[in-house]
Structure 1
Amino acid sequence: MTAKKSLTIKKGDQVRVLSGKDRGVEGKVIAVNPETERVIVEGVNRIKRHQKALQPGTTSSIITKEAPIHVSNVALLVEVDGEKVTTRIGFRRDEVTKKRADGSTYKAQRSVRVAKRTGEEI
């Protein structure tokens, strides 16, 4: 069994598809699967599946849903000067002050995602 890999793309991020039949399409990440390194993006890689009628009185139907795509085929979008551009993701350690239950405080570090293009926190 391999270690669980951490992905830089998170649920809720706005991304643009870089390759495949939906290249250039922008959408929101619905789900992330770190084990298979795949993401599901809203409106991208749509497939049709036949749904069998499971109970008497219901009808069968064809359902259209999003299929997962590899995380390397998407790039995060950030807004620069009013337009959306793709960027890579970096990490930065910030000093923060935390509070204990007894009321005392202490210094700690927090890791934040940073857009490489703008340097801003995501």
Structure 2
Amino acid sequence: MAAQRKLHVKKGDQVRVIAGKSKGLEGKIIQVLPDAEKVIVEGVNRVKKHTKVQQAQRGGTTGGIVTQEAPIHVSNVMLLVEIEKDGKKQKVTTRVGYNRVEVQKRRPDGSTYAGFRSVRISRRTGEEI
């Protein structure tokens, strides 16, 4: 089994699809599947799934055709950030970088020390995401 790759997006990020049949669509990441290197984006890559009719409790029946989001490869999405251009806010795609920033950490006994933490930054604007 290969080592698990760290993905450039997280659950809750706004992304734009840059390749495939859903190219150009935007949405929020619902779920991240790091083992398969895929993400599920709200409203993107919708497929119809046929479910078998089963007897539910209390006499109800479930089944039929359900439309739901299917996973899309993480390389086919780009993170969206908001920038201000000519006094208007607009969403643009950006690559993701990482910076190490110094922070104050606290030990269980209450004392503090200087430590480092990795933060995601936008390659386009240089700002922390």
TM-score of the two chains, using structure 1 as the length reference: 0.95
Quick one: distance in 2 between partners of 1:67 and 1:5? 21
Secondary structure at 1:72's aligned position in 2?
helix
Report the aligned-residue RMSD: 1.1
The 5 A counterparts of 1:1-122 are 1-55=1-55, 57-81=60-84, 82-122=89-129
Task: Report the Cα distance in structure 2 between the residues aligned to 1:60 and 1:95, rounded to whole angstroms.
Answer: 54
Instruction: Give the Cα separation in 2 of the matches to 1:3 and 1:69.
Output: 20
Per-residue CA deviation, residues 63-93 of structure 1 (Å, 9 max, x unaligned), is: 0000001111110000111000000000000
- Report the CA distance between 1:109 and its aligned residue: 0.3
Structure 1 residue ranges (4+ consecutive) displaced by more than 2 angstroms after TM superposition = none
**Identical columns (%):** 63
Give the count of matched residue pairs: 122
Alpha-carbon displacement from aligned partner over 1:5-58 (angstroms, at most 9, x marks no partner): 110111100000001111111100011111111110000000001111111641
Give the unaligned 5+ runs of structure 2. Answer: none
- Counterpart code for 1:95: E
State which drifts further: 53-62 or 112-121: 53-62
CA distance in 2, matches of 1:74, 1:59: 34
Q: Given residue 31 of structure 1, which amino acid in structure 2 is its aligned partner?
A: Q
TM-score normalised to structure 2 length: 0.90
Q: CA deviation at 1:59?
A: 4.3
More strand by share: 2
